[in-house]
Amino acid sequence: MSQAPEAGRGATVTPMRVVIALCLIAPFVAMLWVGSYAKTDPAFIGIPFFYWYQMAWVLISTALTMVAYKLWQRDQRARSAAKGGASE
């Protein structure tokens, strides 16, 4: 009934993939940990910390997602080259 998994089909955990995961998880952790930013000081140009912290994470999340995407592309090209296939 059960078949043995093929050698190349399993998920491989590499340092690059760990960095990708951290880049994608960091914004969630930062926003779900409300106690870390549920305050009004320090204000930035009159905007309470609670609001500008969240707006800053919009930009940080964008940058981290771009980094994760570029790392993923690099990882896929390296895996494709290691298998001897042509990369896109």
pLDDT in tens, 27-67: 999 999 988 888 888 988 998 989 899 999 999 999 999 99
Res 81: pLDDT? 86
Distance CA 21, CA 33 (A): 18
pLDDT in tens, 14-25: 889 999 999 999
Res 24: pLDDT? 95
Q: Select from 52, 70, 48 the least CA-distant residue to 60.
A: 52
Q: Rounded to two decimals, what is the model's pTM?
A: 0.75
Distance CA 22, CA 31 (A): 14
Res 18: pLDDT? 93
